Amino acid sequence: MEEFPSGLPNLVALEELNFSKCRNLKKLLEGFGSLTCLKKLNMWECEAMEEIPSGLPNLVALEELNFSKCRNLKKMPEGFGSLTCLKKLNMKECEALEEFPSGLPNLVALEELDISKCRNLKKLPEGFGNLICLKKLYMWKCEAMEEFPSGLPNLITLEELFFSQYRNLKKLPEGFENLTGLKKPYVWECEAIEKFPSGLPNLVALEELKFLQCRNLKKFPEGFGSLTCLKKLYMWECEAIEEFPSGLPNLVALEELNFLQCRNLKKLPEGFGSLTYLKKLHMWECEAMEEFLSGLQNLVALEELNFSQCRNLKKLPEGFRSLTCLKKLYINLKKMPKGFGSLTCLKKLNMKECEALEEFPSRLPNLVALEELDISKCRNLKKMPEGFRSLICLKKLYMWECEAMEEFPSGLPNLDISKCRNLKKMPEGFRSLTCLKKLYMQECEAMEEFPSGLPNLVTLEKLYFSQCRNLKKLPEGFGSLTCLKKLYMWECEAMEEFSSGLPNLCRNLKKLPEGFGSLTCLKKLNMWKCEAMEEFPSGLPNLVILEELNFSKCRNLKKMPEGFGSLTCLKKLNMKECEALEEFSNGLPNLVDLEELNFLKCSNLKKLLKGFGSLTCLKEL
């Protein structure tokens, strides 16, 4: 749609109008201002629109106005300030907009203003402080703006203030302490800011404080402990900070504390244990931290604890066993802390890159609620503990790059053993994993055969064993995996034949088994680089819902099967570098849904069929 219907201005009782994503709409009609009952106007992503109609200021009942992602909109109309009932104004990603009209301060009912990603907007008009009802102000990535609007401290009802990437902004405005209703200030990538505003401790209503990637921010102001309503404190990548604020233990309502990648932070403050409501503590990559203080055991409400890659952290304090509410633990230590086995509520344990760890603690099987375990890149871990099968709630196990692991635990549910390069076989009892839905075995290079019990995994939906280069064959009975939806086995270079169950790809594979056409739910078939294959499987035309077919680099494939035209749902056909192919199937013109066709470097292909012009949906050739 390029223009509005001519009769639109006659709809004088209209209250809501939505023309979102009318990307070719260039302008609104003359007479648009007659819609005096209109309350909501949504023009989101009308990318061709360059100007708002002059009649907009007549819409005096308007309460919500959304022009976000109108990327060519350059200016707002004169008289804009007459919209005194306007409560929400969204101009996000109006990238061509350079200035607001002078009437903006007249919008005294305005409660929400979003000018995020208005990259050319240099300043807000004088009198901005008149917006005394404003509760939410979003100013993400206004990269051309060098200073805050001077009236910001007058916005005493402001509750949420989000701004980012003011890279030249060195300080927040004077009078910041006047924003006594402020609950959520988010400051992101303001890299020149060196200190908090001195009035920060006056913001007693503050509930969330986030200063992300403010890399030159060095210290907290005195009196920080007065923020007794604060529930969330996030200080990601504030790399210059060396110590916590002294008043931190006074923040007794604090529930989430996140100091990710504060690399110079050396220790937690005295009295840290008074944060008894704390539920989430994330200290990932605080590389200078050497020890926790003794108060950790008092954090009895703690549910998530992350101090992975704190490389100088030598040990945890005594009393770890008291964290009985802990559900998620991310840890890198040479040995597990005392009391580890008492964490009976733990659901997720991430020990990724515990490279010095050689064995699990014997009490791991006590974690009866554990659902997810990640021991990837524990390169010296040789075996799992006795009693591992007691983890009856375990749903996900990640063990990739456990290079020293020589044997595998039995009694497991869902499983990822990718890059276990020395693992030669699966254990007895593998057949008992009858609830297994996903099995990942990529790059298990020493494995020569599948476990005989694989066909018992009747609920298996996804099977990945790509780059198992020594795997020679699939087990008998493979066809019993009737729930299997995805099978990936590329670069299984030693495989010479399929069992009678199911096909995929490998360089030495010459043909697919009889009965291939019974896979009537198959939507994607990828046989890339099956270089030994000389002909398509005879049952291919039965795969009537097939949408994607890739036989690229099947260099010995000579012809396409009869009945190929029955694949009427096919959208993508890739036959690139099928060098022996001499002609297409007669049925090609029947593939009326085909959108992509690739037969580059089919050097022996002599001609295309008559009727090729019927492929009217084709987008890429």
Collapsing DSSP to helix, strand or coil, 177 comes out as: helix
User: Distance (Å, rounded) from C-alpha 300 to C-alpha 316?
Assistant: 16
- What single DSSP character describes residue 336? P
Half-sphere exposure of 252 (CA within 13 A, CB side): 3
CA distance between the termini of the chain: 29
Over the chain (621 residues), the average pLDDT of each successive run of 10 is 66 86 76 84 86 81 93 83 93 88 87 92 83 93 77 89 80 81 90 79 90 84 86 90 83 92 82 90 86 78 89 72 89 73 88 79 80 87 74 81 67 69 69 77 81 77 83 72 76 61 51 67 79 76 86 84 85 91 80 90 80 84 85
Q: Cβ of 417: how many Cβ atoms within 10 Å?
A: 23
Quote the tokens at residue 409.
């635990």
Residue 518 has φ and ψ, to the nearest 5°, of -80, -5
152 falls within a domain: yes
Domain count, the chain: 2
3-state secondary structure of 257: strand
> Is residue 52 a part of any domain in this protein?
yes
Residue 81 inside a domain? The answer is yes
Helix, strand, or coil (residue 341)? helix
- pLDDT for 503 equals 39
Q: Would 64 be classed as within a structural domain?
A: yes
- Cβ atoms of 46 and 17 within 8 Å: the answer is no
Is-contact 510 530, C-beta < 8 A? no
Residue 407 domain-assigned (yes or no): no
Measured CA to CA in angstroms, residue 399 lies from 209, 457, 462, 504 at distances of 37, 20, 17, 25
Q: Which two tokens stand for residue 201?
A: 């401790």
Where do the H-state alpha helices sit in 216-312?
none
Q: β-strand 372-374 against 64-66: which pairing, if any?
A: unpaired
CA distance linking residue 82 with residue 71, whole number of Å: 24
**End residue of a domain, out of 108, 138, 165:** 165
From 250, 244, 131, select the one nearest 179 (Cα to Cα): 131
- DSSP 3-state assignment of 355? coil
List b or e across 327-363, with b for residues whose CB sees 16 or more CB atoms inside 10 angstroms.
Answer: bbbbbbbeebbbbbbbbeebbbbbbbbbeebeebbeb
For 191, counting Cβ atoms within 10 Å of its Cβ (0-12 exposed, 13-18 middle, 19+ buried), the class is middle
Does 471 map to a domain?
no
> What single letter denotes the amino acid at residue 323?
L
Indicate the residue among 141, 165, 189 that finishes a domain.
165
Strand stretches in 180-227, DSSP E: 184-188, 208-212
CA atoms within a 13 Å half-sphere pointing along the CA-CB vector of 516: 15
User: Of 117, 143, 165, which residue sits at a domain end?
Assistant: 165
Could you tell me which residues come within 8 angstroms of residue 613 by beta carbon, excluding any fewer than 6 positions away?
none
Q: What is the 3-state secondary structure (H, E, C) of 295-333?
A: HHHHCCCCCEEECCCCCCCCECCCCHHHCCCCCEEECCC
Q: Look at residue 500 in the predicted model and tell me its pLDDT.
A: 42
Whether residue 155 contacts residue 180, with contact meaning beta carbons closer than 8 Å, is answered with no
Alpha-carbon span 568 to 417, nearest angstrom: 39
Cβ(237)–Cβ(215) below 8 Å: yes
Tokens of 427: 């254990």
Q: Model's pTM, two decimal places?
A: 0.68
Longest Cα–Cα distance of the chain, Å, equals 83
3 state SS of 89: strand
459 in a domain, yes or no? no
> Where do we find the tokens 């005392």?
338
Q: How many CB atoms lie within 10 A of CB 422?
A: 15
Residues in CB range of 495: below 8 A, 6 or more apart: 471, 472, 473, 474, 489, 506, 508, 509
Domain span at 161:
1-165
Pair of tokens at residue 575? 């036959």
The total of other beta-carbon atoms located within 10 Å of residue 501's CB is: 18
Question: Strand, coil or helix: what is 430?
Answer: helix
From residue 344, alpha-carbon distances to 68, 277, 326, 357, 364 in Å are: 49, 20, 8, 22, 10
Where in 331-419 does DSSP place strands (E)? 348-350, 372-374, 396-398, 415-416
**Residue whose structure tokens are 């049952």:** 539
Distance CA 306, CA 569 (A): 48
Pairing of strands 486-488, 462-464: parallel
Q: Which of these, 285, 337, 277, lies nearest to 303 by C-alpha position?
A: 277
pLDDT at 501: 44
| CATH code, domain carrying 90 | 3.80.10.10
Residue 132 resides in a domain: yes
